[in-house]
Amino acid sequence: MIDIPIARGFFGRKKPEGQSARIPPGQHLVHDFPVLSAGPTPVPDLASWRFTLSDGDTRLGSWSWEEFNALAQTQVKVDIHCVTTWSKLDTNWEGVTLDTLLEAAGLDEAPAPYAMIHCEGGYTTNVPVEDMLGGKAMVATRYEGQPLDPEHGGPARLLVPHLYFWKSAKWATGIVFMEEDEPGFWEQLGYHIYGDPWREQRYTGD
């Protein structure tokens, strides 16, 4: 049996005991998994699917579905928090960390301090690279032991659980590194450029 590592970075700071201490201000606990999307759910075509890392216009690495799933896989159990005020605790995910992708691309470090995540349908969101390194983020392909459903972002979505869940972009197809931070889809429409749920950074100015 293959031992799948659990990345330390996903756990962050030690949280106080008690469920309420795990729910950020303004959030409420749910036990289902609400589905919220800006557009229609894409139909995945795994035969043509690729995930690409780029530095601006320069391609650093690209993987087919088979190649992506052959990379080292990481499992995590994390809480997630949606900007629409729901939180879900103890969710289980599996996928490939950005650290693993950089290593697979032959890189010792990220080439720039910011990143834009690109997705099917033209959706984008921006995340500082430091918020994705050290095991703090992954491209997730499995949820609760099963392949990720398309309605929840399958075949692959970003998972950055310490930020509001819109940053965990569905249907991810690539990451582009950038020297300067730029707003993505929702950020251009007034959502916060960073999105820390513990600081209630929902909208510009929060």
Return the pLDDT at 97.
98
The structure tokens listed for 70 are 């052959």
pTM: 0.89
E strand or H helix at 142, and its extent?
strand 138-143
pLDDT, greater one: 78 or 42: 78
Cα separations in angstroms, 125 against 45, 65, 122: 22, 22, 10
Q: For a pLDDT cut of 90, what percent of the chain falls above it?
A: 84
pLDDT tens by residue, 72-88: 999 999 999 999 999 99
Residue 44 has pLDDT above 90, yes or no: no
Q: Kindly indicate the confidence band of residue 38, based on its pLDDT and cuts at 50, 70 and 90.
A: low
Q: pLDDT above 70 covers what percent of the chain?
A: 89
Dihedral over Cα of 83, 85, 86, 88: its sign: positive
- Which of 78, 74, 100 is CA-nearest to residue 87? 78
- Confidence (pLDDT) at 43: 86
List, in order of start, the domains of the chain with CATH numbers: 49-199 (3.90.420.10)
Segment 30-47 shows an average pLDDT of 85
The pLDDT-based confidence of 183 (bands split at 50, 70, 90) is very high
Q: Where are the alpha helices (DSSP H) in the chain?
A: 65-70, 98-104, 185-188
Backbone angles phi, psi at 146, to 5 degrees: -125, 155
Strands 114-119 and 146-147: unpaired
Per-residue pLDDT tens over the stretch 122-168: 999 999 999 999 999 999 999 999 999 999 999 999 999 999 999 99
